[in-house]
Structure 1
Amino acid sequence: MPSRKRILVVGGVAGGMSFAARARRLDNNADIIVFEKGDEVSYANCGLPYFVSGEIENQSSLLVQTPASLKAALDLDVRTGHLVTGIDTERRIVRVFESLDATEPTEFEYDELVLSPGMFSGIADYPGVTEVRSRLSTLRTVPDAIQLESIAQSASSAVVLGGGYIGVEAAEALRSRGLEVHLVQRSAHVLTHFETELASYITTELEANGVVIHANAQPTGFSERDGQLVVALSNDGEIVTDHAVIALGGVPATQIAPESIAKTDRGLIIVDENGRTSAPNVWAVGDAVTHVDPITGALRSVALAGPANRDGRYIADAMLSTSFRPRPAALGTSIVRVFGLAAGATGANSRELIAAGIPFETLHLHANSHAGYFPGSEAIHLVAYFATDGDERGRIYGAQAVGRDGIDKRIDVIATAIRGGMTIDQLADLDLSYAPPFGSAKDAVQMVGFVAQNVLDGTTTLWQARDLEKVMAESLILDVRRADEFATGHLPGALNVPHTELRERLDEVIAAANGRPVRAHCAAGIRSYLAHRVLVAAGLDSATLSGGMQTLIAYHGKDILTHEDN
């Protein structure tokens, strides 16, 4: 009888357990041992904030599998409370402390080794941490969530340090429990992956629900005063509160990986398209490994449950099957709830495209979640990026959307289109389900395709809110909204000619432009597109504002507007 292959897995949860389960289905005789330093090996880490908020009532609901259930169903040897302290890739040895009381590690030989170490929080980096440690929490494990839920029942205030997905979810959870909540964000706005013009909607939603945001600030130290926690900030301010949640992003827990396992400067384990590391018979999966961005080519981490679960399966296939496919490059498709809003994204954003030196066009839409005449329709604020020239003409680089309904559907459709290699104009060709309660005859995704078609074939030319200062200095701003809309606030120096009057007042526009380009805008972009076609037919250098005044205000704020007559 052939010897049993020994496969060791370091770390459970999404990547590690997905690999182990698939490996067992492919090899019923392998000796598969999973080492997990915590008490839980398979839990719903994405559900932790909703346990803190009370929406998930039972702790047991967070536990996907237990060592006992995994043993019974898949004959997996899952060992919790086991800390891996070292790896010798030449001898194929893993050193493990088998309990908290162990004084010497035990050595385990392996034929194949899978690393799924994940991330840990950098709490210890701040002055005063040791003295106030009982007042600080993270939100990465089930014990974290249990502790924070208990604190939320007795505390009256909390500060969340970090405005990423976990930070925003923690702020929402604690605020929903009635706490006074401060959110400290080191950048200009929360959820920094999102564009400024979309993040402003998220900021407004947080503030409308009572979350106090401290932007462009970060913690510099902790102390106690009069029985409360004091968090010092980099802007010389401080927050006095009961408790702090550290959500500043993770540090790859890859210190155990020897030099034979190549890592990036940040500590991410470098893997190939099948999950192999630079060491023979060693594989890696999860938050602490590299992914090649399919849009920009950048090497990055994708700390999302979907790719981790999928990659665990594909690594098992590459290790144990004669027929396998490489793990697909992760687009980073994601979504987060912020009280009544949802914010979703897929692919690259503008900063990533600029950093990669990739030319792109941006379009903005403010569409309805379903037919406007049917009750309950909500606005979908959507941004998409695409190529306009060269061999990649029409390629979709990414998209983001914020709104109260239907965000997941639209982002998922665009993510599927990117994966399938569709061009952005082909989005108009999609057959999408439609009935008034669910969508529109021209869905938001199809509208992206229609607008992109106009851009690609030259029917329209866009100008962007980010270029406002330059446009105001060099062009005539033509506001084609109605006079009553214009009176509610407009750009300084703008000429107001409603689009229904434009043909009769062209001479007025030409005189005001005096040889300058004309840059038109309306409320959302539809009327200014109609005006643009009239202006182009008259021989003028014209462009229409992508997303209209809605995008302009979302990007710059209302302070850019004036109510003075011109």
Structure 2
Amino acid sequence: MTTPRTYVIVGGVAGGMSTATRLRRLDENARIIVIERGEHVSFANCGLPYHVGGVIDDRSALILQTPESLGARFALDVRVRTEAVAIDREARTVTVRALDSGDEQSLSYDALVLSPGASPLRIPIPGVERGLVLRDIADMDRIIDAATDAHRVVVAGAGFIGLELAENLRHRGLDVAVVEMLPQVLRPFDAEMAHIVAQRLRANGVELHLGTALSGIEPDHVVLDGGAATLPADLVVLSVGVRPESGLARDAGLDLDARGYIVVDAHQRTSDPAIFAVGDAVVKQRFDGDPSPVWLAGLANRHGRLAADAIAGRPHAAVPALGTAVIGLFGLTAAAVGRTERELRDEGREIRVIHTHPTDHAGYYPGAEQLSLKLIVNAGTDAILGAQAVGGGADKRIDIIATAMAGGIPARGLADLELAYAPQFGSAKDPVNMLGYVDDNLIDGEQSVQWHELASRMAEGWKLVDVRTADENALGAIPGSELITLDSLREHAERLRGERVIVTCKVGQRGHTAAALLRQYGVTVANLDGGYTTWRAGTAAVSTP
């Protein structure tokens, strides 16, 4: 009989535990040791904000497995409150220290898996030690204890975790302000899409201080923008980003990228062939663009399985990460996949951008909600580079587009997807299909203008024509536009012959009809993409203090 192999896994939760349990299924005889610095080796970290707000009432529901349950089912040697302090690559040993006793032990390994995760950043400002962070169960307990006697909370950071905490602290009845250095919430979204989320937050009592720096934390207030202003606060939560816990890998001489993330190949193998790495401390190959960190639980689980498969001699290569993510805030769903328009334009890429604002299911069926969709396309190849959705059914549509991206379906091909339809679930032409139809029109020569391009086009002499009804126009119109309703447009088409015209409606659909009509009268015409709705969100996003 062959000598049983020994596998040591540093770090639990999604990546580490996926590796450990997969290895056991592949190798019943192996010795598998899991080292976890914290008190809990397997917990639902994505659920932590929701226990803070009482949405998840039972704290124990967040603890998925214990050392005892993992030992009973998978014969794993799980050691919590134990820290890996050094790796000897030549000897293939890792030194671990029991945090309670200080005792150290050297563990030999045939394969070592690093899943240390990423820890919340603590920005170098006065009083930063007063700020709480959220990474694990103990952090969650500290926030709940502090919130019990708090009235006014400041959350630093408007990313996914920061906003989820803001929502749940509001559920507790606290006054909440969010301070964010960027001029918008949710970096993976473009400004006009993020503005919809910001509106929902404000409508539910969350103060937003965007484009604002947190400069200091005092016992009863925070300091903003170097002393320009203060906000009262008896609880401060920091959610301003993370850093990889890659010190162990660095000390062992493993390759890291410029940001300190562990570099791995397609099988999660590091620069040492006996050491693998998974999870938030690892740089991922993106489907478009340079490798970068992607902090998603689904990827951590998948890559843990891939590492185990490679160790067991049945390797499968990781596919490039799309970065598909979703958040729910006060009943509003926002989801995104891939690249943003902001990033791609900064890179000088040639892209097409499409905005639509359909309802999430048939408008005649009760309960239909508006859905705002954005699709970003490579102008040369028609490859989908990214998408964003805010509103009813956002998660479903982004999942469809992410699947199309993974399958190499071009944007035009979205029109051909056969999607489930009944009035309570969608429309005969699903919102995803409609994105494909719009892209098809653009490929065939229809021109569009983005909301942020409108002012410069009008300065160049383009005429802006609003084809909505007079009642719609009276409720709000783009400055400098002329009202010519769609139903009366033919009567005015001759006088527009030879002009350069941008047509606009509420969401772009009537604008498409107007553009098709005017082109046949010899008018150079473009449609304002997403219509007045997108223009209003975009201009509000860049002008809101």
TM-score (norm 2): 0.96
Which letter maps to 1:128?
G
Q: Secondary structure at the match of 2:257?
A: coil
Q: Which of 357, 365, 369 lines up with 1:378 in the alignment?
A: 369
Q: Secondary structure at the match of 2:267?
A: coil
Counterpart Cα distance in 1 of 2:375 and 2:144: 38
Q: Secondary structure at the match of 1:199?
A: helix
Partner of residue 240, structure 2: 248
Per-residue CA deviations over 1:239-258 (Å, capped at 9, x if unaligned) read 22110111011011111113
Q: Offset at 1:356? A: 4.3
1:432-443 to structure 2, matched below 5 A, reads 432-443=419-430
Counterpart Cα distance in 2 of 1:76 and 1:523: 60
Q: Secondary structure at the match of 1:367?
A: coil
C-alpha spacing 1:558/1:347, structure 2 compared with 1 (3 Å): closer
Q: Offset at 1:8? A: 0.7
Per-residue CA deviations over 1:282-307 (Å, capped at 9, x if unaligned) read 110001101111022x1110101001
C-alpha spacing 1:71/1:289, structure 2 compared with 1 (3 Å): same
Counterpart Cα distance in 1 of 2:455 and 2:97: 61
Counterpart Cα distance in 2 of 1:128 and 1:165: 24
1:486-505 to structure 2, matched below 5 A, reads 486-505=473-492
Q: Structure 1: give runs of 5+ residues left out of the alignment.
A: 561-566
Partner of residue 563, structure 1: none
CA contact (8 A) 2:121 2:239 kept: no
CA contact (8 A) 2:156 2:240 kept: yes
Q: Offset at 1:269? A: 0.3
Q: Secondary structure at the match of 1:557?
A: helix
Partner of residue 181, structure 1: 176
Q: Secondary structure at the match of 1:470?
A: helix
1:472 aligns with 2:466: no
Q: Secondary structure at the match of 1:9?
A: strand
1:280 aligns with 2:276: no
Which letter maps to 2:48?
L
Q: Secondary structure at the match of 1:425?
A: helix
CA contact (8 A) 1:89 1:280 kept: no
Partner of residue 43, structure 1: 43
Q: Offset at 1:358? A: 2.9
Q: Secondary structure at the match of 2:415?
A: helix
C-alpha spacing 1:438/1:67, structure 2 compared with 1 (3 Å): same
Which letter maps to 2:108?
E
Partner of residue 109, structure 2: 110
CA contact (8 A) 1:137 1:244 kept: yes
Q: Secondary structure at the match of 2:8?
A: strand
Per-residue CA deviations over 1:480-523 (Å, capped at 9, x if unaligned) read 1112222222222212111111111123334xxxx552111111
CA contact (8 A) 1:290 1:301 kept: yes
Partner of residue 415, structure 2: 428
Counterpart Cα distance in 2 of 1:80 and 1:43: 13
Partner of residue 135, structure 2: 140
1:129-528 to structure 2, matched below 5 A, reads 129-130=128-129, 133=130, 136-224=131-219, 228-234=220-226, 236-257=228-249, 258=251, 260-296=253-289, 298-322=290-314, 324-389=315-380, 393-403=381-391, 405-458=392-445, 460-474=446-460, 475-510=462-497, 516-528=499-511
Which letter maps to 1:101?
S
Q: Offset at 1:387? A: 2.1
C-alpha spacing 1:105/1:236, structure 2 compared with 1 (3 Å): farther
C-alpha spacing 1:259/1:72, structure 2 compared with 1 (3 Å): closer
Q: Offset at 1:262? A: 0.6
Q: Offset at 1:235? A: 6.6
Which letter maps to 1:491?
I
CA contact (8 A) 2:214 2:222 kept: no
C-alpha spacing 1:235/1:273, structure 2 compared with 1 (3 Å): farther
Q: Secondary structure at the match of 2:309?
A: helix
C-alpha spacing 1:523/1:235, structure 2 compared with 1 (3 Å): farther
Q: Offset at 1:203? A: 0.6
Counterpart Cα distance in 2 of 1:222 and 1:462: 47
CA contact (8 A) 1:222 1:232 kept: no
Q: Structure 2: give runs of 5+ residues left out of the alignment.
A: none
Partner of residue 552, structure 1: 535
1:70-149 to structure 2, matched below 5 A, reads 70-102=70-102, 105-123=104-122, 125-130=124-129, 133=130, 136-149=131-144
Which letter maps to 2:194?
A
CA contact (8 A) 2:374 2:387 kept: yes
Q: Offset at 1:271? A: 0.6
C-alpha spacing 1:250/1:408, structure 2 compared with 1 (3 Å): same
Partner of residue 32, structure 1: 32
Partner of residue 69, structure 1: 69
C-alpha spacing 1:477/1:235, structure 2 compared with 1 (3 Å): farther
CA contact (8 A) 2:191 2:541 kept: no
Counterpart Cα distance in 2 of 1:559 and 1:280: 49
Counterpart Cα distance in 2 of 1:327 and 1:558: 37
C-alpha spacing 1:196/1:235, structure 2 compared with 1 (3 Å): farther
Which letter maps to 1:188?
P
Q: Offset at 1:232? A: 4.1
Counterpart Cα distance in 1 of 2:541 and 2:523: 29
Counterpart Cα distance in 2 of 1:70 and 1:358: 49
C-alpha spacing 1:87/1:231, structure 2 compared with 1 (3 Å): farther
Which letter maps to 1:372?
G
Q: Secondary structure at the match of 2:208?
A: strand
Counterpart Cα distance in 1 of 2:125 and 2:273: 38
User: Over aligned residues, Cα RMSD in angstroms?
Assistant: 1.6
Aligned residue pairs, count: 541
CA contact (8 A) 1:52 1:148 kept: yes
Q: Offset at 1:259? A: 5.4
Q: Offset at 1:383? A: 0.1
Which letter maps to 1:240?
P
CA contact (8 A) 1:315 1:327 kept: no
